[in-house]
Each structure stands twice: as C-alpha cells, then as structure tokens.
Amino acid sequence: MYPFGYQRIDTPQALKAAQQRQRGEADKAVSYLAGGTTLLDLMKLGTLAPAEILDINGLAHDYGDISWADDELRLGALVRMSAAADHPRIRSDFPVIAQSLDLAASPQIRNMASLGGNVLQRTRCNYFRQTGWTACNKRQPGSGCAAMEGVNRKHAILGVSDHCIAAYPGDFGQALVALEARVDILGFHGTRTLPFHQLHLAPGSEPERETVLLPGELITGFHVPIGPWTRRSLYLKIRDRESYEFALVSAAVAMHLDDNVIRDVRIALGGVATKPWRAHEAEQQLIGRRPDLPAFEAASKVAFAAAVTRPGNRYKVDLGQQTLTRALLQLAEMEV
C-alpha cells in the first residue's frame, strides 16, 4: 500500500467543501468510499491509486433510505445491497431488482456494499486488474488491449470497440436499465437527474471513460417508476458456479401481459456487453405478440444480431439467446 489522504464526510456542507476543493485540484485523483468492496480491492492490487479518499458513509442519513411515492420507488445510493434485496415490498413489487441484488456477490459483500458503489464497480477483466499486464487501454490509455488476442472467455460481445472488450460486471444495473430508472447526481453546482441508461459509456476510443460523471460528482440515489410490467419481472443469471460468481450471461426482463398479449416488454442483458445493455430491437419484436416459444426465440436472435465475437467468447451468442428465451418463458408463466 502507499500513503493516501482520508477524510470522512458527514454533512452536505462538508461534501460541498470537498467538491469545491476538487475543482481546484483537477489533476488529483480523489475517490469516494462507500462499502469499499471494489475500491479497496483495486487499491490493494495497485490498479487504482487515488491520492485522497472521501468516506461518504456519514451521509447515510441523507442518501441511505428506501422510500415510495405513488408512481415510483426511491433508493438512496448508500442503501446496502442486502437491505434492498431483502425489502419485502421490493421483493413483491420489483422482483427483478431484489433478484439482481440477491444473486450478486456473497452475503458479507452485500451487507457492506452500497447501491451507488455497485453501479460504479469496475470491470473484472484480469488484464485491467493485474498491473503486470502492460497492455490495457482502460488502465493505461494508448497501451493496447491484451484481451483481444488473449483469454477473453468472459469478455463482452455487444458494445465492444477496437480498443476494449471488457464486460460490465454488475447485475443491479441491468434491472435499472430494464425498468427505465433515473439516477440523481450531485455536483458542486447542484443536482442533475439522468435516465440511468445514460450513466455508463461504451468504450469507443476512450475505454478509460466509463461514465458521464464529472470529477467530484456523487450519485445520491435512483428513481424506479412503477408500471404494469414491474411485478411481472425477473432476473436470470447464468454463471460458472451457482453462487459468488459474476454472470457469463444474464437477462433482466419485465412484461406487461394483458389478455395473453404482450403490451409492453423490457429487456436488459448482462455479462455480454460493455455496459448495462437494453435490447430495444428484441422488445419491438415482441410487442403485440402472444407470449410463446417461437416469439421468444425470434426475439432472442434479434437481441444478439449485432454481436462481435472472438474464439474465446463465441459461445456467448448461443448461451445468451437461450438465457433470454428461458427468462421470457419464465416471465410469461409468472403468477402476479
């Protein structure tokens, strides 16, 4: 480990002062610390080396609540993964959210980790995490990408670029994308709210830029609209082992089924893309159709039509199609 600064932020005023200070020191790497289950890991590996850490856990009284309005669920960024996963009303009214959190990491990590930190976790690409590898455009812009010709079995096939094929590793992000959630962001100049799907960036030519967050901006919470599709929703996660493992492929799906006709459907894919991935074209195929196997198989093919594969991850096209078909079948059969 190396020496770094540490400050605990307990009030919005202290946060604002810290954000103002960061504006004056734009070249200094400052990181917020929530549960620390990503940040400390990467600092110990030497992948990240912030000069200063701002511990935001003292802001839990401002950003640590789960609450409801008539038309939406509100989740503070400092809500712990386990608190949201275990919440009875989230389990019944937003199963896809509860399941995406429940199937992630381990009970110990879920007790520590926050929702804000979860959506900002970094890729598990080993060439990024292990600094012994010199070619990683995400860690060292312009250095190349060792994964392109290396071990890429777990890498992305959607949203990739010639500069990076790292998969987005989280689960909860897919649920937020499928449900068209919004995210609140607090910066020095005040709060802005974005559709959650705009938070993450595909790698393009700048894989080091993973989100639209500006230096010093803090995620404070999420709004998830309540709709006729939220109760009929689920998260299906396929992985190498049944617990404590990241997704090879996952599907967050939600459907409004009325009179045995699909009135609306939401599909987001995980494990296969560089960011939480909405499958709009597949959704369009299904609206107005009966919920049957041929319709689901056809839509699943469409969802992966744009895949760009390598020998190591080619299997993800078949696995992804089968996973999505299975998720949609389970969804159609759900009792709500």
Interaction of residue 65 with ligand FAD, rule CB under 6 A: no
Binding mask 234-273 for ligand FAD (x = CB under 6 A): ------------x---------------------------
Cβ nearer to ligand SF4, comparing 155 with 237: 155
Report how many residues bind ligand SF4 under the rule CB under 6 A. Answer: 14
Q: What is the DSSP string of 43-77?
A: HHHTS---SEEEE-GGGHHHH--EEE-SSEEEEET
Going by the DSSP 8-state scheme, the letter that residue 264 receives in this structure is E
The single residue among 43, 84, 113, 147 that binds ligand SF4, judged by CB under 6 A, is 147
Among 39, 85, 234, 253, binds ligand FAD (CB under 6 A): 39
Q: What's 80's DSSP letter?
A: B
Binding ligand SF4 (rule: CB under 6 A), the pick from 63, 128, 296, 304 is 128
Kindly state whether residue 158 participates in binding ligand SF4, applying the rule CB under 6 A: no
Q: Which is nearer to ligand SF4, 168 or 222 (CB)?
A: 168
Rounded-to-integer distance, Cα 106 and Cα 102, Å: 9
Q: Which of ligand FAD, ligand SF4, none has residue 168 at its interface (CB below 5 to 8 Å by kind)? A: none
In whole angstroms, the minimum distance from the beta carbon of 288 to ligand FAD comes to 33
Strands (E), the chain: 5-8, 30-33, 52-55, 66-68, 72-76, 182-187, 190-195, 218-225, 233-238, 249-258, 261-270, 277-278
Rg (CA), the chain: 20
Count CA atoms within 13 Å of residue 300 on its CB side.
24
Q: How near is the Cβ of 120 to ligand SF4 at its closest, in Å? A: 15
How large is the angle between the packed helices 315-333 and 293-303, nearest 10 degrees? 140
Rounded CA gap, 145 and 137, in Å? 6
Q: List the single partner that 171 binds among ligand FAD, ligand SF4, none, CB under 5 to 8 Å by kind.
A: ligand FAD
| 3-class secondary structure, 114 | strand
Binding to ligand FAD (CB under 6 A): which residues in 132-171? 170-171
- Asked if residue 137 binds ligand SF4 (CB under 6 A), the reply is yes
| Residue 109 in tokens | 């990590």
**From ligand FAD, ligand SF4, none, which one binds at residue 164 (CB under 5 to 8 Å depending on kind)?**
ligand SF4
Please name the residues in contact with 317: beta carbons below 8 A apart, sequence gap of 6 or more: 157, 304, 307, 309
Count of chain residues binding ligand FAD (CB under 6 A) = 29
83 binds, among ligand FAD, ligand SF4, none (CB under 5 to 8 A by kind): none
Is-contact 288 262, C-beta < 8 A? yes
Q: Which residues bind ligand SF4 (CB under 6 A)?
A: 123, 125, 127-128, 136-138, 145-147, 164-166, 207
